[in-house]
Amino acid sequence: MAADKKKKKRRREDSSSDSDSDSDGDTKTRPFKKRLNPDSLILSTLKTLVANQNTSSSKTLTLADLSLSSTCREVSDLPLSSVQSAIESLILSLSHSILSGHGFSFSVPSRSAANQLYVPELDRIVLKDKSSLRPYSSVSTVRKTTITTRILQLIHQLSTKSIHVTKRDLFYTDVKLFQDQTQSDAVLDDVSCILGCTRSSLNVIAAEKGVVVGRLLFSDNGDMIDCTKMGMGGKAIPPNIDRVGDMQSDALFILLVEKDAAYMRLAEDRFYNRFPCIIVTAKGQPDVATRLFLRKMKMELKLPVLALVDSDPYGLKILSVYGCGSKNMSYDSANLTTPDIKWLGVRPSDLDKYKIPEQCRLPMTEQDIKTGKDMLEEDFVKKNPGWVEELSLMVKTKQKAEIQALSSFGFQYLSEVYLPLKLQQKDWL
């Protein structure tokens, strides 16, 4: 009898250890947890990834290398004195045109979709050389020409005073003229193209949006910042990339996260201590400062970038903006894109692979499906067979899921099982 009781007790212990229940007593199982290797073995895998990254890093190609500099255009970082000189030269030429009786007009590089080109060798979208005239004498363009002139005047003031303002500040200098901030923002991009400089060179910045946490030290305007000591909120990414310097890290990779909720989970669990990494998010749509900061980390620290986005067409769109650039700012893609970002998750194939419950999956809307099909026609998607396969599966099943769907297995399933297993299996595209 005593022996039977011992056997029963042993069986109960075995069954409870097999259940992989959450540490908080939740009875939900945590699938695939037992497949995890010890952290030391996963770290060895990651060190191999970093070594391969360093050996494979080659010279970054430019438009000139591909003999495209005459048919495509790109802007460059310019000092304030050069921006000021460029504006003064432009206004002087317009004055000569007015005095000679020809009126004046701006030659504005077209940023329409038809004037965009994806270059596979560069793996980014660039702007072709088509331009259009914006004359002051035309009823259809007089207002936009006036806005362009006003923006040039404001930028000249900034360059002479050597100060920065936000896009919102710029809008409020002349609300009656601009009417809506989207109009002043659009013309600001036009001015960058006209002057041939990056938007950062104009000293106009967006409000702080992105945050970073983890194994990173950098100087912000002379102050050293340790991103392991920023709490779960992390350090706001400086809107002016010129303030950032002296980056140091012992991380093995950079984890790019789409959503703030997933970022907070990883930051609170201090995922970056278990697997040395830098975690960064723009909390949705990528802003210029976060894109510049990510590229700077990648190029200076020589670390691989792994992306965690929602399993829907918009998650992949966000990933493509970081990697290939946006059509709206294709003129500055050389400075804003981060090459060779790996798609870690959440991928459409993960929904079945990780047994995501049906109640955590969402049906795709007609607009979602259309967006997915449109993306399948994009050259930057066609270049990667893995992306085509995953996106085709998404459109076929008509299902999508957010990163938070993994919380159905426990709030810490993302940091304790899903991501470690992904890293262990080198499961990225």
> Are the C-beta atoms of residues 419 and 350 closer than 8 Å to each other?
no
Q: Is the pLDDT of residue 178 over 80?
A: yes
Can you tell me which residue has the tokens 């950079």? 254
- At residue 93, the pLDDT reads 94
What does the chain come to in residues?
429
- At residue 56, the pLDDT reads 62
**What is the tens place of the pLDDT at every residue in 80-139?**
999 999 999 999 999 999 999 888 999 999 999 889 999 998 999 999 999 999 999 999
Predicted confidence band of residue 30 (pLDDT cuts 50, 70, 90): confident
Report the amino acid identity of residue 31.
P
| 35 or 20, greater pLDDT | 35
Structure tokens at 40: 């030391």
Mean pLDDT of 369-397: 93
- At residue 52, the pLDDT reads 75
Q: Is the pLDDT of residue 23 over 50?
A: no
> Are the C-beta atoms of residues 197 and 76 closer than 8 Å to each other?
yes
- Ramachandran angles phi, psi of 134, nearest 5°: -120, 85
Predicted confidence band of residue 57 (pLDDT cuts 50, 70, 90): low
Domains of the chain: 34-59+207-424 (3.40.1360.10), 72-205 (1.10.10.10)
- Ramachandran angles phi, psi of 119, nearest 5°: -105, 105
- At residue 55, the pLDDT reads 64
- At residue 385, the pLDDT reads 92
Return the number of other C-beta atoms located less than 10 Å from residue 274's C-beta.
Answer: 15
Task: Measure the CA–CA gap between 12 and 18, rounded to whole angstroms.
Answer: 10
Task: Measure the CA–CA gap between 362 and 278, rounded to whole angstroms.
Answer: 30
**Residue 236 parent element (H or E):** strand 235-236
> Are the C-beta atoms of residues 134 and 145 closer than 8 Å to each other?
yes
- At residue 61, the pLDDT reads 82
- At residue 242, the pLDDT reads 86
Task: Measure the CA–CA gap between 4 and 355, rounded to whole angstroms.
Answer: 37
- At residue 65, the pLDDT reads 84
Q: State how far the alpha carbon of 419 is from the alpha carbons of 62, 90, 103, 422, in Å.
A: 35, 53, 62, 5
Q: Has 185 been labeled as part of a binding site?
A: no
Residues 6 or more apart whose Cβ sits within 8 Å of residue 11: none
Q: Has 310 been labeled as part of a binding site?
A: yes
Mean pLDDT of 130-154: 94
Alpha carbons within 13 angstroms on the beta-carbon side of residue 2 total 0
- At residue 282, the pLDDT reads 95
> Are the C-beta atoms of residues 83 and 195 closer than 8 Å to each other?
yes
Task: Measure the CA–CA gap between 254 and 275, rounded to whole angstroms.
Answer: 11
Predicted confidence band of residue 25 (pLDDT cuts 50, 70, 90): very low
Mean pLDDT of 2-15: 45
Mean pLDDT of 14-27: 40
Task: Measure the CA–CA gap between 308 and 277, rounded to whole angstroms.
Answer: 13
Runs of H (alpha helix) within 100-250: 142-161, 167-172, 175-178, 181-195
| 270 or 232, greater pLDDT | 270
Q: Is the pLDDT of residue 353 over 90?
A: yes
Q: Is the pLDDT of residue 58 over 70?
A: no
Task: Measure the CA–CA gap between 138 and 154, rounded to whole angstroms.
Answer: 24
Catalytic residues: 172
Lowest mean pLDDT among 65-74, 239-248, 365-374: 65-74
Torsion, Cα 224 227 228 233, to 10 degrees, reads 130
pTM (2 d.p.): 0.88
What does the DSSP assignment read for 330-381? GGGHHHH--SSEEEEE--TTHHHHTT--GGG-EEPPHHHHHHHHHHHTSHHH
Q: At what angle do helices 366-376 and 313-324 cross, to 10 degrees?
A: 40
> Are the C-beta atoms of residues 226 and 22 closer than 8 Å to each other?
no
> Are the C-beta atoms of residues 148 and 187 closer than 8 Å to each other?
yes
Q: Is the pLDDT of residue 9 over 50?
A: no
- Ramachandran angles phi, psi of 271, nearest 5°: -55, -30
> Are the C-beta atoms of residues 211 and 235 closer than 8 Å to each other?
yes
Structure tokens at 238: 């400086």
**What is the tens place of the pLDDT at every residue in 208-228?**
899 999 999 999 988 999 999
Can you tell me which residue has the tokens 């270049």? 383
What does the DSSP assignment read for 250-281? --SEEEEES-HHHHHHHHHTTHHHHTTEEEEE
Q: Is the pLDDT of residue 8 over 60?
A: no
Can you tell me which residue has the tokens 């060895």? 44
